[in-house]
Amino acid sequence: MQLTNSAWKDIKQNFYKFGILPDSFDENTPFVRAWRLAKASGLDPNTKISALSKLGLERLNKSEKVLAEFITPVIHDIWKLFSQQDICVFFINENYKIIAEKHADNDPQSYYFLQQGQIVEPSRFGAIAPVCSILSKKPVIMTGHEHYLNEFSEYSCASVPVFNGEGQILGAIDTTSKHGLLASNWFRHLLYQSHVLENNYIRNNCRSNEKTIAFQHSNDLLDTAYAGLIVINEAGRIIKANQMALKLLNIEFDQIYHSYLSDFFIIQHNFQDILDHKNLLIQSRDNAYFYASLNGGKISYQNFENTLPSQNQQVNTAVKALLADIPVLITGETGTGKDYVTRQIHERFSSNIPLISINCGAIPENLIESELFGYEEGAYTGAKNKGQKGLIELAHDGILFLDEIGEMPMHLQVKLLRVLQDQMFYRVGGRTPIKSNFKLICATNQNLKNLIEAKLFRSDLYYRLQGFEIYLKPLRERIDKTSVFHHILKSQNIAHWDSSIEHAFNNYHWPGNIRELINVVKVSKLYIQNQKLEQLILPKLPAYCLTQLGEKKELKLDDIIKEQIQYVINEENGNISKVAKRLKISRTTIYKYINLL
C-alpha cells in the first residue's frame, strides 16, 4: 500500500484507540490478524524496541535444545549466503520463542532484541513476518509499516513456516534486515530450506518399522528437498506426509492421515518392487503419474560419480551456455549418464534453483500435455477441481530438463517451440497466457536428424534445441572402461574377482551401458562364494542379436532396438498394444521405430 509514514501512523493509532481499519485493508491479510491480536493485548504501536528487550529471555527446555541443535546448521548456512546484506536469520517455534539465531558478530546492536530465548508473540512484538507465518501457515513477506510497531517500519523481513510432517507447525524461519532490502531476494532460498528442514525432521523421527516413500513427477527430484514424502506404519497406514506430498495430491493432512496408500495411488506393486525399481512410475487416483522410491533416494548412478567421465570442461561450458540462454542438448545411448550430467550442470549453475524434469517417453501420450503445460479446472473429465500447474510453469526461474525429447509427440513439439520463442504458454483449457522464464536442457538416445527425415521430429525445433551439445560415449567405446568396471566392483564391496570376470566384461557389448553394468554387478554379487566374484551374470540376448553382435564390431544401439521390436512384432502377430505391454514402452515409440525399419 502506497501510504506516507504519517498516514500509516495515523491508521495504527486509530486502530489502537478505536479498532477501525480502512476499507482497503483485507481482513484475510496475515498482518491484519496479527494487528488484531496485538491490539487485543493492549500493545501500543508506539512501544519502543528497547522496552521489549527488558522483558527478559527464557531458557530453552530440553526439547527446545534438541530443536535448536537440529535448526542451527541451516540458520548458519542461510546467514552465510546473504551475510553481505547485513541480516539476522532466526527460527521461532510454535510458541513464538526464538530457538536459534545468527547475525554479524561485529554488529551486536542492530538485532539485539532478536536473541535465543526471546518471546516474539503478538502481545510483545505485534506483527512480524514469522508470527504471521505461524498464524497463516503460509510464507510471508513484510516491509515497512505493515509491522505493527512503528519502530519496526525500517525493517524488511521474509518468513516461511516449517511443518513437522503431521500437519502441524514446527515453527518459522525468518530473514530480517534493518536496511529496507528487498525481502523477496531471500524468499526462494527460505522456501527451499523449509522443505529441507521438514524432510529431515520427518526422516529423523521415523521408527525402524516405518517406511518412507518419496514421489515426484520427475525422477531427478526424488532425492531432493522437493520430493513428496509419505511415512507408513507397520499396519500400512499413512502417519506422516510432508507439505509437498499434500500439494502433489491436492489434499489436507486430515484427509490422508491413517489412510492406506491404495486410497490415493493405484497400487500394482509391493514395497519390494518399489525398492528394486527406485524410479518406478506409479499412478494416483486422479490420473497423475509420479516416480516413486522406498525410503528415499534413487538408483540413477548414486554413489557412482567416478564411473562417469569427468566432463568438467563440457559441464562448465554448458553452464556458460545456460547463462547466455543457449539450450544444452545431451546425446548418447541409454544408460550413458545423461541424467547424471544434467544434475552436474544444475549443481554448478545453481543448486538453489529448481531442476524440473520430465521423461517424454515415460508419460502416456494422452497425459503428457497436461503434465507439461498444466490444466485449468474442468479442462477434462477427472481434472482436479482447482486445476494443476504444469512442469513448464514449475520451472519458472529454474531449469527445465526434457529427457528423451525424441519421444515428444509432434503436436506438442509445436507448442514447445512456441514456448521457447515467446516464453509464454497456455494451460490446457486455459485462455490466460502464463510467462515462464527457464533454462533448457534436453537429452535423447536417438538420432534426431534421422527422426526429422522420418517426419517424426520438427526440424525447426531441432535447430532451436541445438545450442551446445554434449555427446556421451557408450561404455564399449570408452578408453577408461576397465577402470570404470573396477570402480563399480569396489563400490559394491567386491574386493576380489576371478580373471575370467574381466574377460567376460571386455567381450560383452553392453547395450545398456553403465546402467546395465551396475545392475549386472549387483546381480552377480548374489553368487559370490568365499568372498570372491567368480562369474559375471550377463543378460541373455535373443539369438539373432548374438549373431549380429558377432558379425558387427560397431553395431548401433538403435539397430538392436529396431531388431528387438521387429522380433516381438512378429511374435505378437502385429498387435502393437501387446508389443508395447511386453516391451514396457509406449506405442508412440514402437511406431517411430517401425518407420525406421
pLDDT band, residue 276 (cuts 50/70/90): very low
Secondary structure of residue 429 in the 3-state scheme: coil
Task: List, in sequence order, the alpha helices (H) in 435-480.
Answer: 448-453, 459-465
- pLDDT above 50 for 586: yes
- Grid cell 527464557 is found at 58
Bigger pLDDT: 197 vs 386: 197
What integer pLDDT is reported at residue 20 of this predicted model?
Answer: 85
Bigger pLDDT: 109 vs 303: 109
* Rounded CA separation 457/455 (Å): 6
Q: Is the Cβ–Cβ distance between 244 and 227 less than 8 Å?
A: yes
Would you say how long the chain is, in residues?
597
Burial category of 479 from C-beta neighbours within 10 Å (exposed 0-12, middle 13-18, buried 19 and up): exposed
Range from 169-173, 209-213, 445-449, 451-455 that averages highest in pLDDT = 169-173
What integer pLDDT is reported at residue 202 of this predicted model?
Answer: 94
How does pLDDT run across 227-265, given as a tens digit for each residue? 999 999 877 789 999 999 999 999 999 999 988 887 888
Residue 355: its H or E element: strand 355-359
Q: Is the Cβ–Cβ distance between 524 and 535 less than 8 Å?
A: yes
Bigger pLDDT: 549 vs 592: 592
The DSSP output letter for 428 is: B
What integer pLDDT is reported at residue 98 of this predicted model?
Answer: 95
What integer pLDDT is reported at residue 560 of this predicted model?
Answer: 61
Angstrom CA distances, 590 to 442, 455, 472, stand at: 21, 15, 24
How does pLDDT run across 421-448, given as a tens digit for each residue? 888 988 888 888 899 899 999 999 999 9
What integer pLDDT is reported at residue 548 of this predicted model?
Answer: 40
Q: Is the Cβ–Cβ distance between 371 and 384 less than 8 Å?
A: no
Does domain 5-203 fall into CATH 3.30.450.40? yes
Does domain 305-472 fall into CATH 3.30.70.1400? no
Average pLDDT over residues 469-477: 91
Phi-psi region of 273 (alpha: psi -120 to 50; beta: other; left: phi over 0): alpha
Q: What ranges do the domains of the chain cover?
A: 5-203, 209-294, 305-472, 489-525, 543-596
What integer pLDDT is reported at residue 411 of this predicted model?
Answer: 86
Q: Is the Cβ–Cβ distance between 222 and 293 less than 8 Å?
A: yes
Average pLDDT over residues 83-101: 91
The DSSP output letter for 586 is: -
Bigger pLDDT: 106 vs 78: 78
173 phi/psi in degrees, rounded to 5: -105, 135
How does pLDDT run across 15-64, given as a tens digit for each residue? 888 888 888 888 878 888 899 999 999 999 998 877 766 666 788 999 99
- pLDDT above 80 for 591: no
- pLDDT above 50 for 500: yes
The DSSP output letter for 235 is: T
- pLDDT above 80 for 181: no
Does domain 209-294 fall into CATH 3.30.450? yes
Which of 234-243, 298-307, 528-537, 563-572 has the least mean pLDDT?
298-307
What integer pLDDT is reported at residue 533 of this predicted model?
Answer: 87
Phi-psi region of 255 (alpha: psi -120 to 50; beta: other; left: phi over 0): alpha
Bigger pLDDT: 53 vs 198: 198
Average pLDDT over residues 341-351: 82
CA atoms within a 13 Å half-sphere pointing along the CA-CB vector of 51: 10
Angstrom CA distances, 422 to 222, 419, 426, 431, 433, stand at: 30, 5, 12, 16, 11
CATH of domain 543-596: 1.10.10
Range from 82-91, 263-272, 463-472 that averages highest in pLDDT = 463-472
* Rounded CA separation 247/255 (Å): 12
The residue among 456, 434, 432 whose CA lies nearest residue 444 is 456
- Grid cell 483485507 is found at 26
Which of 53-62, 92-101, 195-204, 444-453 has the least mean pLDDT?
53-62
Calculate ∠ Cα 136-184-79, nearest 5°.
95
CATH fold match for the domains 305-472 and 543-596: no
Average pLDDT over residues 157-175: 95
Q: Is the Cβ–Cβ distance between 439 and 399 less than 8 Å?
A: yes
Which of 105-114, 391-400, 569-578 has the least mean pLDDT?
569-578
* Rounded CA separation 332/418 (Å): 26
pLDDT band, residue 549 (cuts 50/70/90): very low
